[in-house]
Copies of this chain bind each other. A is one copy, B any other.
Amino acid sequence: MENRQSWRQRLYIIIFETSTPAAQRFDNWLLVAILASLVVVMLDSIERFHSQYAGIFSALEWFFTALFAIEYALRLYSSPKPMRYAFSFFGLVDLLAVLPAILALMFADAQYLMIVRVIRMIRIFRVLKLRQYLTQANFLLVALRGSKQKIVVFLVSVSTLVTVYGALMYVIEGPANGFTSIPTGIYWAVVTLTTVGFGDITPQTPVGQMLATLVMITGYSIIAVPTGIFTAELANAMRQDGLMEHDCPHCRKNRHEYSAAFCSRCGGPLFSRQVEPSASTQNTPETD
């Protein structure tokens, strides 16, 4: 009883954490399994292979499903709050990794099944999540969230632009040149504004080409906007942690070198000198 408890804890550390070498090994194997299952799905989707090795592929699929099912069971078993885990984001992703087989029993449309099987890839982040990359990812997310509002404004402006351009092209070029409807026109406008330029639909009339030129120049210029927003936001975030945050008790200058003992503006001591060690240590945290 007692050692089973400890066994569960050990299992928890291996599966959910990344501190021990065993846990590291588990993560690596999980990564391999996920990627391998992905490769199988992809090869399976190629007609030539599918017709030949259909049997092997489904066998492998069942194998991986079993593997992920066992993993899911162990996670449920080892986690202290099974329900909490089961309904967490990654808990659902883990479940999703097992579902395809169950779904396969219900309805047999291999097509739609494939998407579910591909979504397994999201689990890669579960592994990344357990690495130092998390901080970096989080860092990017913060920068993106910081520029959210501006991005919204940008997207609304772009969609308006695209809609108007699309309607204009539909009227100027007309169905004869492939602009069969306003939505098609909008699709073309997006293709052009984002500088993708498939070339499946292209303006034929001189007026249409002049408008297209305008669209392209617009897209080429405003490609700056999200970049600018994001970069400024990121630079801002980076400048935040360049200096130490601590109000000078005399002049309130609130950013100093990490090694600063005195304010570089008024020369006053940053930390009252006659503090007993305890107090000084209690200051430490806020300087980290």
Interface stretch of the complex, out of A70-78, A84-92, A164-172? A164-172
Q: Please, which residue of chain B has its CB at the minimum distance from the CB of A206?
A: B183
The number of chain A residues with a CB under 8 A from chain B is 118
Find out whether the CB atom of B216 lies under 8 angstroms from the CB atom of A227.
no
Question: Which of A's residues lie within 8 Å of B, judged by CB?
Answer: 38, 41-42, 45-47, 111-112, 114-115, 118-119, 121-122, 124-125, 128, 132-133, 136-137, 139-140, 143, 149-158, 160, 163-164, 167-168, 170-171, 174-175, 180-184, 186-187, 190-200, 202, 206, 209, 212-213, 216-217, 219-221, 223-236, 238-239, 242-243, 249-254, 256-271, 273, 275, 280, 283-284, 287-288
Instruction: List residues of chain B with CB within 8 A of the CB of A197.
Output: 191, 195-199
Cα distance, A195 to B153, chains bound together (Å): 22
A83–B119 CA distance with the chains assembled, in angstroms: 51
Residue of B nearest to A141 (CB): B153
Q: A275's closest neighbor in chain B, by CB?
A: B250
CB distance from A99 to the nearest CB of B (A): 15
Contact of A196 among B157, B171, B219 (CB under 8 A): B219
- Give 26 A-B contacts (CB < 8 Å), ordered by A residue: A38-B163, A47-B175, A114-B170, A115-B167, A118-B163, A121-B164, A132-B149, A136-B150, A155-B217, A183-B206, A187-B213, A194-B217, A197-B198, A198-B198, A223-B227, A227-B231, A229-B234, A236-B238, A250-B275, A250-B280, A256-B257, A257-B257, A263-B264, A266-B269, A267-B267, A267-B268
Task: Give chain B nearest CB distance to A125 CB in angstroms.
Answer: 7
**Copies of chain A in the complex:** 4
Q: Which B residues touch A112, using CB under 8 A?
A: 171
CB atoms of A152 and B133 under 8 A apart: yes
Which one of A163, A256, A287 has the highest number of Cβ atoms from chain B below 10 Å of its Cβ?
A163
B183 with A192: CB separation less than 8 A: no
**Which of A132, A156, A195, A267 has the most chain B CB atoms inside 10 A of its CB?**
A267
The listed residue (B220, B250, B264) touching A223 by CB distance below 8 A is: B220
Partner of A139, one of B150, B181, B226, B254: B150
- Compute how far the CA of A160 lies from the CA of B34 in the bound complex, rounded to whole angstroms: 12
* B196–A118 CB distance below 8 A: no
In the A-B complex, the 6 residue pairs with the closest CB atoms: A262-B267, A259-B259, A261-B261, A196-B197, A260-B264, A266-B271
Evaluate contact between A160 and B125: CB separation under 8 angstroms.
Answer: yes
Check A280–B252 contact: CB distance below 8 A: yes
